[in-house]
Structure 1
Amino acid sequence: MEMVLHKANTRGHANHGWLDSWHSFSFGAYYDPNRLHFGALRVLNDDTVVGGAGFGKHPHDNMEIISIPLEGELEHGDSLGNVQVIKKGDVQVMSAGTGVVHSEKNRSQLLPVRFLQIWVFPNQKGVTPRYDQQNFKDEALHNQLATIVAPMGSGQGVQIHQEAWFSLGKLDAGLELEYPLKKDGNGVYAFLIEGDVTINDIVLNRRDGLGLTATNPLRIKANMTSELLLIEVPV
Protein backbone atom coordinates (compact mmCIF):
# COMPACT_ATOMS: atom_id res chain seq x y z
CA MET A 1 0.00 0.00 0.00
CA GLU A 2 1.19 3.50 -0.86
CA MET A 3 -0.33 6.40 1.06
CA VAL A 4 -0.52 10.20 1.23
CA LEU A 5 -2.21 11.75 4.26
CA HIS A 6 -3.41 15.36 4.11
CA LYS A 7 -4.58 16.53 7.52
CA ALA A 8 -7.17 19.30 7.35
CA ASN A 9 -4.91 21.93 8.92
CA THR A 10 -2.11 21.30 6.38
CA ARG A 11 -4.23 22.39 3.41
CA GLY A 12 -3.58 25.61 1.56
CA HIS A 13 -5.81 28.47 2.70
CA ALA A 14 -6.95 31.71 1.11
CA ASN A 15 -9.45 34.11 2.68
CA HIS A 16 -10.53 36.82 0.24
CA GLY A 17 -13.29 38.16 2.47
CA TRP A 18 -16.10 37.11 0.16
CA LEU A 19 -14.49 33.70 -0.37
CA ASP A 20 -12.86 31.45 2.23
CA SER A 21 -11.16 28.55 0.45
CA TRP A 22 -9.15 25.53 1.62
CA HIS A 23 -7.06 23.72 -0.98
CA SER A 24 -6.17 20.03 -0.70
CA PHE A 25 -3.90 20.50 -3.74
CA SER A 26 -1.89 23.39 -5.16
CA PHE A 27 -4.22 26.09 -6.39
CA GLY A 28 -3.94 29.82 -7.08
CA ALA A 29 -1.28 31.39 -4.84
CA TYR A 30 -0.91 28.16 -2.85
CA TYR A 31 1.83 25.97 -4.28
CA ASP A 32 3.29 22.81 -2.81
CA PRO A 33 5.37 20.66 -5.19
CA ASN A 34 4.35 17.60 -3.20
CA ARG A 35 0.65 18.36 -3.59
CA LEU A 36 0.13 19.03 -7.27
CA HIS A 37 -2.46 16.30 -7.85
CA PHE A 38 -3.42 12.72 -6.98
CA GLY A 39 -3.41 10.93 -10.31
CA ALA A 40 -6.19 12.43 -12.41
CA LEU A 41 -7.54 14.38 -9.40
CA ARG A 42 -6.21 17.93 -9.83
CA VAL A 43 -8.22 20.18 -7.47
CA LEU A 44 -10.27 19.67 -4.33
CA ASN A 45 -11.32 23.03 -2.91
CA ASP A 46 -13.48 23.42 0.20
CA ASP A 47 -15.16 26.79 -0.45
CA THR A 48 -17.38 29.12 1.56
CA VAL A 49 -18.92 32.14 -0.20
CA VAL A 50 -20.61 34.85 1.86
CA GLY A 51 -24.12 36.08 1.09
CA GLY A 52 -24.52 38.13 -2.08
CA ALA A 53 -21.10 37.21 -3.47
CA GLY A 54 -19.73 34.78 -6.02
CA PHE A 55 -17.40 34.01 -8.89
CA GLY A 56 -17.94 36.23 -11.94
CA LYS A 57 -17.79 34.90 -15.49
CA HIS A 58 -14.55 33.05 -16.16
CA PRO A 59 -13.39 30.43 -18.70
CA HIS A 60 -12.37 26.78 -18.44
CA ASP A 61 -11.29 24.20 -20.98
CA ASN A 62 -10.31 20.53 -21.02
CA MET A 63 -11.25 19.85 -17.42
CA GLU A 64 -14.03 17.92 -15.69
CA ILE A 65 -15.43 20.18 -12.96
CA ILE A 66 -17.63 18.73 -10.22
CA SER A 67 -19.46 20.78 -7.56
CA ILE A 68 -20.93 19.23 -4.43
CA PRO A 69 -22.90 21.69 -2.24
CA LEU A 70 -22.68 21.18 1.52
CA GLU A 71 -24.85 24.06 2.74
CA GLY A 72 -26.90 26.82 1.14
CA GLU A 73 -27.70 27.35 -2.54
CA LEU A 74 -25.30 28.01 -5.41
CA GLU A 75 -26.52 29.60 -8.63
CA HIS A 76 -24.75 28.54 -11.83
CA GLY A 77 -24.84 30.21 -15.25
CA ASP A 78 -22.79 29.33 -18.32
CA SER A 79 -22.21 30.05 -22.00
CA LEU A 80 -24.13 26.87 -22.90
CA GLY A 81 -27.31 28.61 -21.75
CA ASN A 82 -27.68 26.75 -18.46
CA VAL A 83 -29.01 28.64 -15.44
CA GLN A 84 -29.40 26.32 -12.48
CA VAL A 85 -29.45 26.34 -8.70
CA ILE A 86 -27.75 23.53 -6.80
CA LYS A 87 -28.07 22.73 -3.11
CA LYS A 88 -27.09 19.98 -0.65
CA GLY A 89 -28.03 16.63 -2.17
CA ASP A 90 -27.22 17.81 -5.69
CA VAL A 91 -24.09 16.95 -7.65
CA GLN A 92 -23.17 19.08 -10.66
CA VAL A 93 -20.69 18.34 -13.44
CA MET A 94 -19.42 20.58 -16.22
CA SER A 95 -17.22 19.08 -18.92
CA ALA A 96 -15.34 22.15 -20.11
CA GLY A 97 -13.94 20.48 -23.24
CA THR A 98 -13.26 22.95 -26.06
CA GLY A 99 -14.15 25.83 -23.75
CA VAL A 100 -16.95 27.20 -21.63
CA VAL A 101 -17.52 30.39 -19.63
CA HIS A 102 -19.46 30.16 -16.39
CA SER A 103 -20.27 32.00 -13.18
CA GLU A 104 -21.19 30.80 -9.70
CA LYS A 105 -22.80 32.91 -7.01
CA ASN A 106 -24.47 32.55 -3.66
CA ARG A 107 -28.20 32.71 -4.23
CA SER A 108 -28.76 34.09 -0.74
CA GLN A 109 -27.95 37.67 0.19
CA LEU A 110 -27.55 36.74 3.86
CA LEU A 111 -26.54 33.12 4.37
CA PRO A 112 -23.22 31.55 3.28
CA VAL A 113 -22.99 28.78 0.72
CA ARG A 114 -20.46 25.99 1.26
CA PHE A 115 -19.44 23.54 -1.44
CA LEU A 116 -16.65 21.32 -2.71
CA GLN A 117 -15.26 22.17 -6.12
CA ILE A 118 -13.31 19.31 -7.66
CA TRP A 119 -11.36 19.19 -10.93
CA VAL A 120 -10.44 15.96 -12.70
CA PHE A 121 -8.18 15.74 -15.76
CA PRO A 122 -10.20 14.28 -18.67
CA ASN A 123 -9.11 11.22 -20.62
CA GLN A 124 -9.71 13.05 -23.89
CA LYS A 125 -9.34 16.67 -24.92
CA GLY A 126 -11.45 18.82 -27.19
CA VAL A 127 -14.81 17.28 -26.34
CA THR A 128 -18.04 19.20 -26.77
CA PRO A 129 -18.79 21.06 -23.51
CA ARG A 130 -21.68 19.66 -21.50
CA TYR A 131 -23.54 20.23 -18.23
CA ASP A 132 -25.40 17.83 -15.97
CA GLN A 133 -26.68 17.65 -12.41
CA GLN A 134 -28.48 15.08 -10.33
CA ASN A 135 -30.02 14.92 -6.87
CA PHE A 136 -29.19 12.12 -4.43
CA LYS A 137 -31.61 11.54 -1.56
CA ASP A 138 -30.31 10.89 1.93
CA GLU A 139 -31.75 7.38 1.92
CA ALA A 140 -29.65 6.50 -1.14
CA LEU A 141 -26.50 7.49 0.78
CA HIS A 142 -27.39 6.03 4.19
CA ASN A 143 -24.89 3.40 5.36
CA GLN A 144 -23.59 2.76 1.87
CA LEU A 145 -21.21 4.31 -0.64
CA ALA A 146 -23.43 5.43 -3.48
CA THR A 147 -21.93 6.21 -6.89
CA ILE A 148 -22.55 9.88 -7.64
CA VAL A 149 -20.02 10.42 -10.47
CA ALA A 150 -18.99 7.80 -13.05
CA PRO A 151 -17.46 7.51 -16.56
CA MET A 152 -19.39 8.55 -19.65
CA GLY A 153 -21.72 5.83 -20.84
CA SER A 154 -21.82 4.02 -17.51
CA GLY A 155 -25.41 5.01 -16.78
CA GLN A 156 -24.50 5.87 -13.19
CA GLY A 157 -24.67 9.25 -11.46
CA VAL A 158 -23.45 12.32 -13.32
CA GLN A 159 -20.86 11.32 -15.90
CA ILE A 160 -17.42 12.59 -16.84
CA HIS A 161 -14.77 11.95 -19.49
CA GLN A 162 -12.51 9.87 -17.24
CA GLU A 163 -12.33 6.36 -15.80
CA ALA A 164 -13.20 7.82 -12.40
CA TRP A 165 -15.90 7.15 -9.84
CA PHE A 166 -17.02 9.32 -6.90
CA SER A 167 -18.84 7.57 -4.06
CA LEU A 168 -20.60 9.35 -1.20
CA GLY A 169 -21.93 7.85 2.00
CA LYS A 170 -23.58 9.01 5.22
CA LEU A 171 -22.51 6.42 7.74
CA ASP A 172 -23.82 5.62 11.20
CA ALA A 173 -21.37 5.21 14.08
CA GLY A 174 -19.93 1.72 14.24
CA LEU A 175 -20.68 0.81 10.62
CA GLU A 176 -18.00 -1.24 8.86
CA LEU A 177 -17.88 -1.73 5.10
CA GLU A 178 -15.48 -2.32 2.23
CA TYR A 179 -14.93 -0.40 -0.98
CA PRO A 180 -13.64 -2.54 -3.89
CA LEU A 181 -11.98 -0.57 -6.67
CA LYS A 182 -13.98 -0.24 -9.87
CA LYS A 183 -10.88 -0.54 -12.08
CA ASP A 184 -7.53 -2.21 -11.54
CA GLY A 185 -4.65 0.24 -11.26
CA ASN A 186 -6.77 3.11 -9.96
CA GLY A 187 -6.17 4.84 -6.65
CA VAL A 188 -8.64 6.33 -4.19
CA TYR A 189 -8.57 9.73 -2.52
CA ALA A 190 -10.82 9.75 0.54
CA PHE A 191 -12.10 13.11 1.82
CA LEU A 192 -13.93 13.11 5.13
CA ILE A 193 -16.59 15.81 4.97
CA GLU A 194 -17.81 15.27 8.52
CA GLY A 195 -17.13 12.87 11.38
CA ASP A 196 -14.36 10.41 12.20
CA VAL A 197 -13.52 7.24 10.26
CA THR A 198 -10.78 4.64 10.06
CA ILE A 199 -9.67 3.51 6.60
CA ASN A 200 -7.19 0.62 6.45
CA ASP A 201 -6.17 1.35 10.07
CA ILE A 202 -5.61 5.08 9.35
CA VAL A 203 -7.81 7.46 11.34
CA LEU A 204 -9.33 10.44 9.52
CA ASN A 205 -10.94 13.44 11.18
CA ARG A 206 -13.18 16.12 9.69
CA ARG A 207 -11.84 17.48 6.37
CA ASP A 208 -8.81 15.17 6.30
CA GLY A 209 -7.78 13.66 2.98
CA LEU A 210 -6.15 10.28 2.36
CA GLY A 211 -4.79 8.99 -0.94
CA LEU A 212 -4.26 5.23 -1.31
CA THR A 213 -2.76 3.30 -4.20
CA ALA A 214 -1.89 -0.37 -4.62
CA THR A 215 -4.58 -1.39 -2.14
CA ASN A 216 -7.88 -3.15 -2.80
CA PRO A 217 -10.36 -3.20 -1.17
CA LEU A 218 -10.49 -0.30 1.26
CA ARG A 219 -11.69 -1.25 4.73
CA ILE A 220 -13.76 1.49 6.32
CA LYS A 221 -15.16 1.92 9.82
CA ALA A 222 -17.21 4.91 10.96
CA ASN A 223 -16.08 5.82 14.48
CA MET A 224 -18.93 8.32 14.74
CA THR A 225 -21.69 9.53 12.43
CA SER A 226 -19.77 10.53 9.32
CA GLU A 227 -20.08 11.77 5.74
CA LEU A 228 -17.38 10.34 3.47
CA LEU A 229 -16.45 11.07 -0.14
CA LEU A 230 -14.30 8.60 -2.08
CA ILE A 231 -12.73 9.72 -5.37
CA GLU A 232 -11.37 6.82 -7.43
CA VAL A 233 -9.14 7.95 -10.29
CA PRO A 234 -6.40 6.63 -12.57
CA VAL A 235 -3.01 7.19 -10.98
Structure 2
Amino acid sequence: MDENRACPRCRAVRGPGESFCSACGFKIQSTPQEQRDRFDRLRSISVKQGQLRKIRTGRGWILAVSVLTLLGGLFFYFVAKSETERQIRDAESRIAGATPEQRAEFDANMKKATGMTWDEAVRHDRGRVAGLLAMNLVLAAVYFGLYLWARSQPFPAALIALLVYLAVLVLNAILDPNMLAQGWLVKIFVIVGLGSAVSAAYQHRKLQEAP
Protein backbone atom coordinates (compact mmCIF):
# COMPACT_ATOMS: atom_id res chain seq x y z
CA MET A 1 0.00 0.00 0.00
CA ASP A 2 1.26 3.48 -0.86
CA GLU A 3 1.71 5.22 2.48
CA ASN A 4 1.16 8.59 0.85
CA ARG A 5 -2.26 7.41 -0.33
CA ALA A 6 -3.31 5.78 2.97
CA CYS A 7 -5.47 7.45 5.60
CA PRO A 8 -3.37 8.02 8.76
CA ARG A 9 -6.32 6.99 10.95
CA CYS A 10 -7.92 3.97 9.28
CA ARG A 11 -5.30 3.20 6.61
CA ALA A 12 -7.95 3.18 3.88
CA VAL A 13 -6.69 4.10 0.42
CA ARG A 14 -7.80 7.56 -0.63
CA GLY A 15 -8.28 8.90 -4.11
CA PRO A 16 -5.97 11.50 -5.67
CA GLY A 17 -6.62 14.99 -4.36
CA GLU A 18 -9.07 13.89 -1.67
CA SER A 19 -8.91 16.13 1.39
CA PHE A 20 -10.98 13.80 3.57
CA CYS A 21 -10.91 10.03 3.95
CA SER A 22 -13.97 8.52 2.30
CA ALA A 23 -13.99 5.74 4.90
CA CYS A 24 -13.69 7.57 8.22
CA GLY A 25 -13.89 11.25 7.31
CA PHE A 26 -10.46 12.09 8.67
CA LYS A 27 -8.96 15.26 7.21
CA ILE A 28 -5.89 14.32 5.21
CA GLN A 29 -3.05 16.63 4.36
CA SER A 30 -2.17 16.61 0.68
CA THR A 31 1.26 15.50 -0.44
CA PRO A 32 3.62 18.19 -1.81
CA GLN A 33 3.10 16.88 -5.34
CA GLU A 34 -0.67 17.00 -4.96
CA GLN A 35 -0.42 20.53 -3.62
CA ARG A 36 1.66 21.56 -6.63
CA ASP A 37 -0.78 19.86 -9.00
CA ARG A 38 -3.70 21.59 -7.34
CA PHE A 39 -1.95 24.96 -7.53
CA ASP A 40 -1.20 24.41 -11.22
CA ARG A 41 -4.83 23.51 -11.90
CA LEU A 42 -6.11 26.57 -10.06
CA ARG A 43 -3.62 28.81 -11.84
CA SER A 44 -4.61 27.36 -15.21
CA ILE A 45 -8.29 27.90 -14.43
CA SER A 46 -7.60 31.47 -13.32
CA VAL A 47 -5.64 32.23 -16.49
CA LYS A 48 -8.36 30.77 -18.70
CA GLN A 49 -11.07 32.70 -16.87
CA GLY A 50 -9.08 35.90 -17.29
CA GLN A 51 -8.69 35.23 -21.00
CA LEU A 52 -12.40 34.50 -21.34
CA ARG A 53 -13.22 37.82 -19.67
CA LYS A 54 -10.94 39.60 -22.13
CA ILE A 55 -12.56 37.76 -25.02
CA ARG A 56 -16.02 38.80 -23.85
CA THR A 57 -14.77 42.38 -23.65
CA GLY A 58 -13.36 42.03 -27.15
CA ARG A 59 -16.69 40.75 -28.45
CA GLY A 60 -18.26 43.77 -26.79
CA TRP A 61 -15.97 46.01 -28.83
CA ILE A 62 -17.06 44.34 -32.06
CA LEU A 63 -20.70 44.83 -31.08
CA ALA A 64 -19.97 48.45 -30.17
CA VAL A 65 -18.46 49.06 -33.61
CA SER A 66 -21.56 47.54 -35.20
CA VAL A 67 -23.87 49.81 -33.19
CA LEU A 68 -21.71 52.90 -33.80
CA THR A 69 -21.62 52.17 -37.53
CA LEU A 70 -25.39 51.79 -37.62
CA LEU A 71 -26.13 54.92 -35.60
CA GLY A 72 -23.45 56.94 -37.37
CA GLY A 73 -24.76 55.82 -40.75
CA LEU A 74 -28.30 56.85 -39.88
CA PHE A 75 -27.14 60.19 -38.49
CA PHE A 76 -25.01 61.10 -41.50
CA TYR A 77 -27.75 59.89 -43.83
CA PHE A 78 -30.32 62.28 -42.41
CA VAL A 79 -27.80 65.12 -42.26
CA ALA A 80 -26.63 64.55 -45.84
CA LYS A 81 -30.18 64.06 -47.08
CA SER A 82 -31.33 67.29 -45.45
CA GLU A 83 -28.42 69.25 -46.92
CA THR A 84 -28.86 67.70 -50.37
CA GLU A 85 -32.57 68.44 -50.46
CA ARG A 86 -31.92 72.00 -49.32
CA GLN A 87 -29.44 72.54 -52.14
CA ILE A 88 -31.87 71.03 -54.64
CA ARG A 89 -34.69 73.30 -53.46
CA ASP A 90 -32.44 76.37 -53.63
CA ALA A 91 -31.33 75.53 -57.16
CA GLU A 92 -34.85 74.73 -58.34
CA SER A 93 -36.14 78.00 -56.93
CA ARG A 94 -33.61 79.87 -59.08
CA ILE A 95 -34.63 78.12 -62.29
CA ALA A 96 -38.33 77.80 -61.52
CA GLY A 97 -39.30 80.75 -63.72
CA ALA A 98 -37.08 79.79 -66.63
CA THR A 99 -38.62 79.34 -70.06
CA PRO A 100 -38.25 75.98 -71.82
CA GLU A 101 -35.49 77.48 -73.96
CA GLN A 102 -33.66 78.81 -70.91
CA ARG A 103 -34.08 75.45 -69.15
CA ALA A 104 -32.69 73.64 -72.17
CA GLU A 105 -29.74 76.02 -72.27
CA PHE A 106 -29.20 75.53 -68.53
CA ASP A 107 -29.19 71.74 -68.95
CA ALA A 108 -26.81 71.98 -71.89
CA ASN A 109 -24.37 74.15 -69.95
CA MET A 110 -24.61 71.92 -66.90
CA LYS A 111 -24.05 68.78 -68.94
CA LYS A 112 -21.04 70.38 -70.53
CA ALA A 113 -19.62 71.30 -67.12
CA THR A 114 -20.53 68.20 -65.11
CA GLY A 115 -21.48 65.57 -67.67
CA MET A 116 -25.05 65.49 -66.31
CA THR A 117 -28.28 67.35 -66.86
CA TRP A 118 -30.07 68.88 -63.90
CA ASP A 119 -32.41 65.91 -63.45
CA GLU A 120 -29.51 63.49 -63.74
CA ALA A 121 -27.54 65.47 -61.15
CA VAL A 122 -30.48 65.39 -58.74
CA ARG A 123 -30.82 61.62 -59.11
CA HIS A 124 -27.06 61.25 -58.70
CA ASP A 125 -26.91 63.27 -55.49
CA ARG A 126 -29.90 61.52 -53.97
CA GLY A 127 -28.51 58.16 -54.98
CA ARG A 128 -25.15 58.97 -53.42
CA VAL A 129 -26.82 59.76 -50.11
CA ALA A 130 -28.82 56.53 -50.24
CA GLY A 131 -25.68 54.62 -51.19
CA LEU A 132 -23.87 55.99 -48.16
CA LEU A 133 -26.65 54.72 -45.93
CA ALA A 134 -26.63 51.31 -47.63
CA MET A 135 -22.87 51.00 -47.20
CA ASN A 136 -23.08 51.76 -43.48
CA LEU A 137 -25.95 49.31 -43.02
CA VAL A 138 -23.92 46.60 -44.73
CA LEU A 139 -20.89 47.39 -42.58
CA ALA A 140 -23.01 47.30 -39.42
CA ALA A 141 -24.38 43.91 -40.48
CA VAL A 142 -20.84 42.64 -41.16
CA TYR A 143 -19.64 43.71 -37.72
CA PHE A 144 -22.69 42.14 -36.09
CA GLY A 145 -22.03 38.92 -37.95
CA LEU A 146 -18.43 38.98 -36.72
CA TYR A 147 -19.71 39.56 -33.19
CA LEU A 148 -21.83 36.41 -33.44
CA TRP A 149 -18.98 34.45 -35.04
CA ALA A 150 -16.65 35.51 -32.22
CA ARG A 151 -18.60 33.25 -29.87
CA SER A 152 -17.07 30.20 -31.52
CA GLN A 153 -14.05 31.67 -33.34
CA PRO A 154 -12.92 34.76 -31.40
CA PHE A 155 -9.49 35.16 -33.01
CA PRO A 156 -10.39 35.28 -36.73
CA ALA A 157 -13.55 37.27 -35.97
CA ALA A 158 -11.66 39.92 -34.00
CA LEU A 159 -8.85 40.05 -36.56
CA ILE A 160 -11.24 40.52 -39.47
CA ALA A 161 -13.18 43.17 -37.55
CA LEU A 162 -9.97 45.13 -36.96
CA LEU A 163 -8.86 44.81 -40.59
CA VAL A 164 -12.27 45.87 -41.90
CA TYR A 165 -12.32 48.88 -39.59
CA LEU A 166 -8.83 49.96 -40.67
CA ALA A 167 -9.71 49.44 -44.33
CA VAL A 168 -12.79 51.65 -43.96
CA LEU A 169 -10.69 54.37 -42.31
CA VAL A 170 -8.14 54.25 -45.12
CA LEU A 171 -10.85 54.33 -47.79
CA ASN A 172 -12.57 57.29 -46.15
CA ALA A 173 -9.24 59.11 -45.88
CA ILE A 174 -8.60 58.55 -49.59
CA LEU A 175 -12.06 59.79 -50.57
CA ASP A 176 -12.03 62.70 -48.14
CA PRO A 177 -8.82 63.39 -46.15
CA ASN A 178 -10.75 65.64 -43.78
CA MET A 179 -12.70 62.63 -42.50
CA LEU A 180 -9.54 61.16 -40.99
CA ALA A 181 -9.47 63.83 -38.28
CA GLN A 182 -13.18 63.60 -37.53
CA GLY A 183 -13.84 61.65 -34.35
CA TRP A 184 -10.16 60.71 -34.08
CA LEU A 185 -10.41 60.00 -30.34
CA VAL A 186 -13.23 57.50 -30.84
CA LYS A 187 -11.33 55.89 -33.70
CA ILE A 188 -8.26 55.44 -31.50
CA PHE A 189 -10.34 53.87 -28.74
CA VAL A 190 -11.95 51.49 -31.23
CA ILE A 191 -8.60 50.48 -32.73
CA VAL A 192 -7.13 49.86 -29.28
CA GLY A 193 -10.24 47.92 -28.23
CA LEU A 194 -10.26 45.72 -31.32
CA GLY A 195 -6.50 45.25 -31.01
CA SER A 196 -6.89 44.03 -27.44
CA ALA A 197 -9.64 41.68 -28.63
CA VAL A 198 -7.28 40.20 -31.21
CA SER A 199 -4.52 39.81 -28.61
CA ALA A 200 -6.80 38.15 -26.04
CA ALA A 201 -8.28 35.79 -28.62
CA TYR A 202 -4.81 34.83 -29.84
CA GLN A 203 -3.61 34.09 -26.31
CA HIS A 204 -6.76 32.04 -25.70
CA ARG A 205 -6.08 30.04 -28.85
CA LYS A 206 -2.52 29.34 -27.70
CA LEU A 207 -3.82 28.11 -24.33
CA GLN A 208 -6.28 25.80 -26.05
CA GLU A 209 -3.60 24.42 -28.35
CA ALA A 210 -1.16 23.88 -25.49
CA PRO A 211 -0.82 20.22 -24.42
Q: TM-score, normalization: structure 2?
A: 0.19
Q: Which of these two proteins has the greater Rg computed from alpha carbons?
A: 2
Q: Answer 1 or 2: higher relative contact order, Cα 8 Å, separation at least 6.
A: 2
Q: TM-score, normalization: structure 1?
A: 0.18
Higher helix residue share: 2
Higher strand residue share: 1
